[in-house]
Amino acid sequence: MIKWAVIVWILPLLSFFFVLIFNKKLPRGGDYFSLGTIFIGLFLSVKLFTEALLNGAQYSENWSFTWIPLGKYSIQFDLHFDIVTAVMFLVVTIVSSLVHLYSVGYMKGDPKYGRFFAYLSIFSFSMLGLVLSGSLIGLYIFWELVGLSSYLLIGFWHERHPPAEASKKAFITNRVGDVGMLLGILITFAILGDLNIHSIGEKVAAGKVSQSTLTLIGLLLFCGAVGKSAQFPLHVWLPDAMEGPTPVSALIHAATMVAAGVYLVARIFPLLTPEAGLIIAFVGGFTAFFAATIAIAQYDIKKVLAYSTVSQLGYMIMALGVGSYTAGLFHLTTHAFFKACLFLCSGSVIHAMHHSLHHIHSHADPQDMRNMGGMKKKMPITFWTMFIATIAISGVPFTSGFLSKDAILGGTLAYAMEHGGISWILVFFGFVTAGMTAFYMFRILFKTFYGEFRSGPKAEEVLHESPKTMTIPLILLAVLSFYLWFTLPNVNPFSTHGWYESYTITPEKAYEKTIIIHNQSNINLSNTFENQHQLKAKDEKQHSETFNSTHSNQQHSVHHSAHILAMISSLIVAGLGILISWLTFYKQTISSDKVKSSLGAFYQGMYNKWWIDEIYEGTVIQFTMLMTKISAWFDTYIIDGIVNGTAAITRVFSDGTGIFDNRIIDGLVNGLANTIGWFGKSIRKIQTGNIQRYLLSSSVVLGVVLLIIVVRTIFY
Amino acid sequence: MGVLTIITFFPLVGALVLLFIPKEQKNFIRWLTAATTFIPFLLATWLIFQYDGTKIGVNDPNSFQFVERYNWINAFNIQYYVGVDGISFPMLWLTTLLSFLCIFASWNIEKSVKGYMMLFLLLETGMVGTFIALDFFLFYVFWEIMLLPMYFLIGIWGGPRRIYAAIKFFLYTLAGSVLMLLVMIVLYQNVIDPKTGKHTFDMVLMMNQANHSEWLVKSGTFWGYGIRYVLWFALFIGFAIKVPIFPFHTWLPDAHVEAPTAISVILAGILLKMGTYGLLRINYAIFPDTSNYFCQFLAILGVINILYGAFCAMAQKDLKKLVAYSSISHMGYVLLGMSSLTVAGINGGVLQMFSHGVITAMLFLLVGVVYDRAHHREIQGFGGIGAVVPIYMGMTAIAFFASLGLPGMSGFIAEVLVFLGSYQTWPVYTMIAVFGIIITAAYLLWTIQRIFFGPLNEKYKDLPEINGRELFTLIPLAAITILVGVYPHPVLNIISGSLNHLIEVVKNPLISVATYGF
Amino acid sequence: MVSEISFTTNDFLAVSGELTLAFSIVFLILWDIFSKTKNRLTFAVVTGLLIFLSAAVSILNSDVGHYFSNTFKVDGVSDFIKLFSAVVGILAIWLSLPRFQYHGEYYILLASVIFGIFIVASSADFIVLILGLETVSIPSYVLAGYFRTDRKSGEAALKYVLYGAVSVGIMLFGFSLIYGLTGETTFTAIKQSLTNLSKENHLLMLVSMILMMAGFGYKIASVPFHFWCPDVYEGAPTPMTAFFSVAPKAAGFIALSRFLIDAVPENDWITYNWQELFWWISVATMTLGNLAALPQTNLKRLLAYSSIAQAGYIFTVFTVNTQESYTALSFYLIAYLFMNLGAFAVVDWIERQTGKVTLEQYKGYGKKNPFVAVLFSIFLFSLAGLPPLAGFIGKFLIFKALLDGNQLVLAVISVINTVISLVYYVKIIREMFLTEEPHQEIEEEKTELSLKWFLIVCTLPTIVFGIAFNPAINFLETAVQSFFNTTSQF
C-alpha cells in the first residue's frame, strides 16, 4: 500500500520537472500534466484512505532505505504510512486538486501560467513527502521543500515589489523556526543516534532521555511548527504571504502547508512532556487570541482570512498542547476544507473586483472590503459557498467546524479542570477567540456581500460570477464543510464520535512508558498498553466502541463533562459574535466608528497588527544589518587594514633602508663634495667622499661588533 | 606510466603542444585545450568505476589506489609517489571536471588566448598533482606550481584592480606555503623509513608516529612550545590561508572579484579545498594527537567563518564579492565538520568540500554570465531582470538554493551531516553556527530579490538570455548538485571508509598530548 | 714552525691547471699584441676554450691533498669552484661578445680574474689567499672601469679599488694579529696552534678573526661591507656586473669556508661567538638586501641588492657549518650562477636596446618579446625560490641544513625574507606582463640569436636542477666530503 502512496507522492514531482522545462512548448502551458497527476493522486488517495480504514486503527506501514551511507552507520530515509497519513493524503490531494482546477480559471492569461502549475506540483510533492516521512530528517527535508514552493508561489508575481518582499520574508522567517527544529534534530541525534520517529519513541520509552532533555527537544522541534504554522512570534510572514495568487493562499497558506506545523506536533506528540505541552498550548492559545484581535481590524479581505488562519492554527496547536490529539488533527482536517473554501471565495470576489475595477480604470485595491458590498446578487454561488464556510469556521452546528472547534474547546476545558491554575487562561483564549472568530468572519460576509456596492455603479455593472472551473471547487469545498463527512457512520451533529475520532488514536506519551518500565506500578496504563496490543486483532467497529474505555476513567469523565460544557459555552459565544457582527455591519445599530474611537490605542494596536513588524524591523533586522555593517567594516578596515598595513610598513622599512643606503650617505657626501670646491671638478665627479663614507660606515659597524664582543667577553 | 600520471601531466603536454600553434588560431587553440582537459576528465570518470570503496588509504600504504611510485631524488629519498584514497579522489574528479567546464567558460577570452590556455593547463597539472601526491616534497612542488599560473591568470586577464589582487593572492599564499616548506623539512629530518632506515618524505610513513624521532615526539621545543604544536600550527597557517580561515581570508574577495570567471571558478571550486584537504591529509594524519588537541580551536574558527563570512556577504554590493564571502562562510562548515571528529561531521565536511566546489562554481559562472552582458556586477544596478532572462534566473535560483542548503541539493546533505556530527562534539558552537543558515538564506534571497525581482530596470530590457555554451557549463554542475543531494551514495561510498579511518587515527593517536608540554 | 721547503712533481701537477691558465694568459697577451686581425670573435672563443681547458686540466691532473708545504690544497670543492668559475668565465665572455668584440685585453683581464679564483679556491695558506684575492681584485677593478669614457663606470672602478684596498687592509691587520699569536701562515698550522691557545688569548683571536671577516665580507658583499656593491654593479658594464655578482662572490665564499674549516679551531667558546656573528650577519644581509631592493627601479641596482640578499641566504650555512650545509652552499652557487647570469643577460639586452636599465623599459615587454620575457620570469621566479626551479632547490637545501643544525629561527627569518624578495622580483614580472597600455600596438622585438641561445643555456640548468638535481647533489656531497676529510700532511 505504501507503494501506492509513493506513487501519489512522486507523480507531482515528475509533472513539476516536465511542466517546468516544457511549459513554453506545450499548449496551455502543460497544466493538464499537473492536473492529471494530482487527480490521479486524489483517486489513489481515496483508495489508500479506504484501504487504510479497512485495515484498522493500528494500521501502519514503513518503508526505509539507506539514504546517507556513512560507512559505520547510515542515515535512513523512512517513509511511514498510517491512518493519519492517509487522512492527510486525502486532505492534501482534495484541496490541491480543487485548487488546481480553480487555478485554471483564476490564472488564465497569466504569462507564467505554465510555471504556476509546475510550482503547484512541486508543492504537492513536498507536502505529500512531508506527511509521508517517517523520520525527523525526512520531515525536515520536506519542511524546507514546502518552504521553497511557498517561496516560489508567494513570489510568483515578483515583478511587483510586495510579493518579492513577502516571499523572502516567508522563507527567512520559516528558516528561523527551522533552526530551532534543526537543533532539536541535532540533540535527538546526538543522544539517540537515530532519527526515525518511531524508534525515537521507543528509545525514549526505554528511558534513554531525561525528561528535561525531552522537554527541550520537544520545544525545539516545536520551533519548526512555530515558523511553519505561523505561531506567535513568527506569524508575521503569513499575512504578507497573501501577496501570492489567491489559489496559493488557499492551498498553501490556509489549508495544507501551514498545517504542517500542526502535523509535526502531532507526529512528535509522543515525545512531548507535560511541561513542553503546556508551553505549546500557551503559544497556540495566545496566537489564536492575538491573531483574532488583529483580524477584526483589517480591511483587506485576504488579510482577515490570513489572520484568521493564524488564529485557527493557534487553536490546533493549543489542542495538541493540552493533549487533545484527535481534536487538533480533526480541526486541521476540517479547517483545511472550509478555509480553502473561504480563500477561494475571496479569490472569486477579488477576481471579480479586479475585472470591474480594471474596467473603470480604477487603481483602487480590489482586495479592500471598503470597496466591496452587495455582491450577493451578482455572485450567488460565491456568496452561498462562502456563507457555508463562514458558519463552519464560526462554529455553527451542523458544520464540521462546530465539531472540531468544540472538540478543542472541550479538550482545553478538560485540561484546565484537570490542571487548574494558569491553564484556565487557555480556556479564556479559546472561548474569546471563538467569539471573535464568529464576529470577524461575519464582518467579511456583511461587508462584502451586503449593503451597497462601494466602487460605483459602473463597476457594479460588469461584476459577474466566476467561471465554472472556479465555482465547482467552491461548491465541493462547501459541501465538505458539513459535519457529516467526518462523523460517519455516526449522524449526530453534536457528537464528534465517528470514524475520525475512532481512527486517530491518541498515541501514548513515550515518557509515560518509561514510568511503566521503571515502576511497573501503573496498572491502569499498562492495561492500556496491553489492550492496544489486543485491539490490533479486533474488528474495527468493536475497537471504536471499546476505545474510550482504554482511557482512564477519571480522564474520561472529565472529558465528558467538559465536552458538554464547552459545547454549550461555545454555542453561546459564537452566537454572540455573530449577533454583534450582525448588529454592527448589517443593521449598523452599533457604530463601528464609535467603537473604534472608544477602543483608542487598543484599536490602533489591532489595526497595526500590534506593530510586530515594526518591532522586528527595529530590533532583529536592524541588529542583523548592524552586524553586517560591523563585519564588513571590520573586514575592510581592520583585517585588510592589517594586511595592507603590513605591506605599508615593509615599504616604509624598505624605503628607509634605501634612504639609509643611498640618499643619506650620498646626500651627505654630495654636500661635502660641493663644499670642497677647490678639490676640482674631476674629483668631485668621482665622489671620493662617497667611498669614504661607505668605508666609515663599514668600519663603524665593525667597531661596534668588536666592542660588543669584547664587552660581552669581559663581563661574562 | 599509470593513469594518475597521465591525468596529471596530460594537460602539461597539451600546454607544450600549444606552444607550437600560431597564436592567431584562436578557435583551434580553444578546442584543443577543451580536448586536452576532456581526456583527464574521462580518465578520472573511468576511475570512479575502478575505485574500490573498501580500501581505506589514509595512513595505510597498502590500500591507496592507482599507486605509482618511482624514486625521484635518491639523495633525499624523494619519490614520485602518487595515489588516491577517499579524501583525495572526489577532489581529483572535481578538478578534472571543473577544468574541462572552465575552458568553455573562458571561451570569451580574446586577449592572448594561447597564453591563457597554456597557463590554465599548467594550473590543472598543479591542482591534480597536489591532490594525488603522497610524497610531501612532491606535494609541495605541485602546491607551488599552482601559484604561478594563478598569479598570471588573475594578473593579466583580471579586472581593473587585478594587479593588486594578484600580488595579494601570491604573497599571501606563498607566505603560507614557505612555512609548510620548513615543516616539511623538519618532518623529513625526524621521520625514518623503518625498512631502509633513511629519512623520508613519504607522507604515509610520516603518518605513523612510530617512525617519528624522539625529538619530534617528546623533546623538541621552539621558543618554549612543544615542537608538535609549533609544526602543526605552521602547517595550519599555510592551509588556513588557502581555505581561507578567518583572519587570513582577505585575499579571497579581492582575488575573486578581479579574476576572470573561469579562474574564480577554479579558485573557489578547487583551490580553497586544498586548504582543508591539506588539513585532513597532513595535519590530521601526521599530527593526529595535536589535531585532536586543537580541534576545538578549529571548531571555533569554523563557527567564526560561517557567521562572519555570512555577515560580510550580506554587506556586499558587488555580486562576485558576495559569492566570495559566501565561500568563506561555506568553508566554515567544512572546518566545523572536520573538527567534530565524528563520522557524520567529517563525512559531511568532506562532502561539503565537494558540494561547495560544484555549487560555488555554478555561482561564479552565473556571475560571469551576467557580467559578460551587463559589464558590471553591482547588485543594486539590476532589478527585475527575471522577467527578461527567466532561464538565467532559474539557473541562478538553483545555484542559490543549493548554496543555502535546500534539501534535494548536495549542500543540504553536507550541512546537515556537519551539524549532526558537530553537535555531538561541540553542542554550543553548533548551536551558534546553525544560525548561519538563516543569514545565508537572508543574503541569498535578498540578492535574488534585488537582481531579478521587482519592476524591470529599463536599461536591461534587451538583456540577452543565457546561451547554449553557458548552459553547457552550468547544467552538469546543477545535475551533480541535485544527484548528490538526492542520492549521495556515489560520493559517500568513496569517502566514508577513508574518513572513518581517519577519525580513528586522530582519536586514538599512538602518542598522546600528555607526553609533551605546551 | 717553518718546515723545510721542498717541492715535488706532485706539487706542480697539482697546480697544472693554474699553470695552464697562466701560460694561456701570456699567450693571449702576445697574440693580442701581434695579431693584426680586427675581428676578435676568434680571440674570445679561444680565451673561453683556454679557460675551460685549464679547469679541465686542473680537475684531471690533481689528487686530493695538500701541496707546497700545506699552502695549497686540492679537494672536491676546489675542483668544483674551478669548474664553476670557468663556466662563469665562459658565460661572461659569451655575454660580453656583442659589446666587446674588438677588445682583446678585456678577455685577458677576465681570464686573469679566473686565474685568481683558481688560486683562491685552493689556497690553504694566508699569503696565498691574499695573493689570490688580489689577483681576483685587480683585474676586476679594471673591468669595472672598462668604459673609460663613462663617468659612472670610472666611479665604480674607483670605489671598487678603494673599498677593496681598505677591506684587505683590515683583513691583513687581523691576520697580523693571528700571526702574532701563532707565528704560522698556513691554515692547518694556525688551527693546530690555536687549539692549544691559552684562554686569555681567546678574545684576541676572536677579534682578529672578526677583522679578517672584512676581507671575506667585501668579496661576498655581506653587511656591513656591502656598500660598494650597488654602486659598482650599477656603474660597471652589465656583462661585468653579471660576472661580478657570481664569480668573486663564489671565491669569497669558498675562501671563507676553507678558512673556517681549516684554520678555525674547534673551540666551544669561539664557535659560539662565531656562529652568533654569522647569524647576525646573514640576517642583516638578507634583510637589508631585500628591503633595499624593494623600492629600486633601476634594474641593475635592484639585482645588486638582490644579490646581496642571495648572499645573505648563502651566508646562513656558516651558522651550522656542517658538511650538509656546504653541499647546500655549493648547490646554491650553481643555481645562482645560471639564474643570475640569465637575469643579467636580459638586463644587458634591454640596456643595449634602449640604453636604459630602469623598470619603465620593461613595461609591456611580455608582449614585445614573449620569449625573452618568459625566460626572464623563470630566472626571477628561480631567484625568488619557487619550485620546480633550481633556486627553490637551493633554498630547500639551505633551509634543510639550517633545520638540521637547529637554526629554526634563522630558517624562519630566511623564509620570511623569501616572501619579501618575491615582491620585487614579481614587480619586474608585473611590469612585463600585467601592466600594459590599452590599445597600444607594440611592435615585436627581434631577439639576437646569441642571446636566445645564451638564455636557453641558462634556463635549462635552472629547470633541470629544479627537477632532477640528484646527480648534482651526489657530486657535491662527495666533493664536500673530501673538502672536510683532506687532512694536512704533517
Query: What percent of chain B lies above the pLDDT cut of 70?
Result: 98
Q: How far is A289 from chain B (nearest CA, A)?
A: 29
Please state the ipTM of this predicted complex. 0.85
Least trusted range by pLDDT, from A479-488, A508-517, B77-86, C403-412 = A508-517
Q: How far is C397 from chain B (nearest CA, A)?
A: 9
Residue of C nearest to B155 (CA): C434
B475: contact with A, CB 8 A cutoff: no
Q: A685 pLDDT exceeds 60?
A: no
Q: Which residues sit opposite B84 in a β-bridge?
A: B65
Radius of gyration of chain C (CA): 22
B167: contact with C, CB 8 A cutoff: yes
Give pLDDT tens digits for A194-210. Answer: 888 888 888 888 877 88
Does the residue C414 lie in any domain? yes
Q: C490 pLDDT exceeds 50?
A: no
CA distance readout (Å), A39 to A95, B251, C459:
11, 56, 75
Q: A540 pLDDT exceeds 80?
A: no
Residues of B in contact with C404 (CB under 8 A): 189
pLDDT category at B514 given cuts 50, 70, 90 is very low
pLDDT category at C208 given cuts 50, 70, 90 is confident
Q: Could you tell me which residue, C208 or C435, shows the higher pLDDT?
A: C208
Mean pLDDT of C418-447: 80
CB burial of residue C61 (10 Å; 0-12, 13-18, 19+): middle
Mean pLDDT of C15-23: 88
Q: Are A400 and A389 in contact (CB under 8 A)?
A: no
Q: A527 pLDDT exceeds 70?
A: no
Mean pLDDT of B400-406: 90
Spatial distance between the Cα atoms of A96 and A100, rounded to a whole number of angstroms = 6
* pLDDT of the residue at A686: 36
* pLDDT of the residue at C297: 85
Does the residue C138 lie in any domain? no
Residue B19: all three cell numbers together: 606552444
Does the residue C302 lie in any domain? yes
Spatial distance between the Cα atoms of B65 and B50, rounded to a whole number of angstroms = 9
Please report the beta strands in A57-103, taking only residues with DSSP state E, as ranges in sequence order.
Answer: 60-69, 74-82
Task: Please tell me the pTM assigned to this model.
Answer: 0.88
Residue C33: all three cell numbers together: 699584441
Does the residue C261 lie in any domain? no
* pLDDT of the residue at A684: 35
* pLDDT of the residue at A660: 59
Q: Are B178 and B234 in contact (CB under 8 A)?
A: no
Least trusted range by pLDDT, from A238-247, A682-691, C229-238 = A682-691
Does the residue C316 lie in any domain? yes
pLDDT category at B121 given cuts 50, 70, 90 is very high
pLDDT category at C432 given cuts 50, 70, 90 is confident
Q: A251 pLDDT exceeds 70?
A: yes
Q: Could you tell me which residue, A595 or C380, shows the higher pLDDT?
A: C380
Mean pLDDT of A262-277: 87
Give pLDDT tens digits for C294-318. Answer: 888 888 889 998 999 999 999 999 8
* pLDDT of the residue at A680: 36
Single out the residue of C426, C348, C414, C355 nearest to residue C384, CA to CA: C426
Give pLDDT tens digits for B247-299. Answer: 888 888 888 888 998 999 999 999 999 999 999 999 998 988 888 888 899 99
Spatial distance between the Cα atoms of B264 and A395, rounded to a whole number of angstroms = 61
What is the three-class DSSP state of C184? coil
* pLDDT of the residue at A690: 61
CA distance readout (Å), C117 to B235, C62, C175, C248, C340:
43, 17, 20, 7, 19
* pLDDT of the residue at B246: 83
Give pLDDT tens digits for A686-711. Answer: 334 466 667 777 777 778 888 887 77
pLDDT category at A513 given cuts 50, 70, 90 is low
Residue of C nearest to A665 (CA): C227
Q: Could you tell me which residue, A520 or A288, shows the higher pLDDT?
A: A288
The residue range of the domain holding C471 is 266-485
B347: contact with A, CB 8 A cutoff: yes
Q: Could you tell me which residue, C169 or A483, shows the higher pLDDT?
A: C169
Closest partner residue to B156 (CB to CB) among C418, C419, C433 is C433
pLDDT category at A716 given cuts 50, 70, 90 is low
Q: Return the half-sphere exposure (C-beta side, CA atoms, 13 A cut-off) of residue A201.
A: 17
Give pLDDT tens digits for A453-483. Answer: 877 777 777 788 888 888 888 888 888 888 8
Mean pLDDT of B498-502: 89
Does the residue C168 lie in any domain? no
* pLDDT of the residue at C265: 80
Residue of B nearest to A111 (CA): B387
Spatial distance between the Cα atoms of A59 and B226, rounded to a whole number of angstroms = 64
Q: Are C177 and C207 in contact (CB under 8 A)?
A: yes
Mean pLDDT of C165-185: 87
Torsion of the alpha carbons at B199, B204, B207 and B212, rounded to the nearest 10: -10
Mean pLDDT of A597-621: 80
Binary contact (B75, C418; C-beta < 8 A): no
* pLDDT of the residue at B123: 93
Q: C268 pLDDT exceeds 50?
A: yes
* pLDDT of the residue at B511: 66
* pLDDT of the residue at B13: 93
Residues of A in contact with B454 (CB under 8 A): 158-161, 164
Least trusted range by pLDDT, from A99-103, A712-716, C262-266, C391-395 = A712-716
* pLDDT of the residue at B266: 93
B352: left (phi over 0), alpha (psi -120 to 50) or beta: alpha
Residues of C in contact with B73 (CB under 8 A): 468-470, 473
pLDDT category at C3 given cuts 50, 70, 90 is low
Q: Are A301 and A448 in contact (CB under 8 A)?
A: yes
pLDDT category at C10 given cuts 50, 70, 90 is confident
Mean pLDDT of A578-604: 79
* pLDDT of the residue at A674: 52
* pLDDT of the residue at A687: 37
Give pLDDT tens digits for A11-38. Answer: 889 988 888 888 778 777 778 888 888 8
* pLDDT of the residue at A534: 45
Q: A413 pLDDT exceeds 90?
A: no
Spatial distance between the Cα atoms of A218 and A234, rounded to a whole number of angstroms = 18
Binary contact (A697, C224; C-beta < 8 A): yes
Average pLDDT of chain A, as a whole number: 80
- 3-state SS of A319-379 is HHHCCCHHHHHHHHHHHHHHHHHHHHHHHHHHHHHHHHHHHCCCCCCCCEHHHCCCCCCCC
Q: Are A306 and A239 in contact (CB under 8 A)?
A: yes
Binary contact (B140, C435; C-beta < 8 A): no
Q: A549 pLDDT exceeds 60?
A: no
Please report the beta strands in C69-162, taking only residues with DSSP state E, as ranges in sequence order.
Answer: 72-74
Residue of B nearest to C409 (CA): B222
**Number of separate domains in chain C:** 1
pLDDT category at B305 given cuts 50, 70, 90 is very high
Mean pLDDT of B27-42: 92
Radius of gyration of chain A (CA): 35
* pLDDT of the residue at A689: 42
* pLDDT of the residue at C437: 62
Spatial distance between the Cα atoms of A16 and C435, rounded to a whole number of angstroms = 52
Please name the chains neighbouring A, where neighbouring means 3+ C-beta pairs under 8 angstroms. Answer: B, C
Least trusted range by pLDDT, from A395-399, B359-363, C144-148 = C144-148
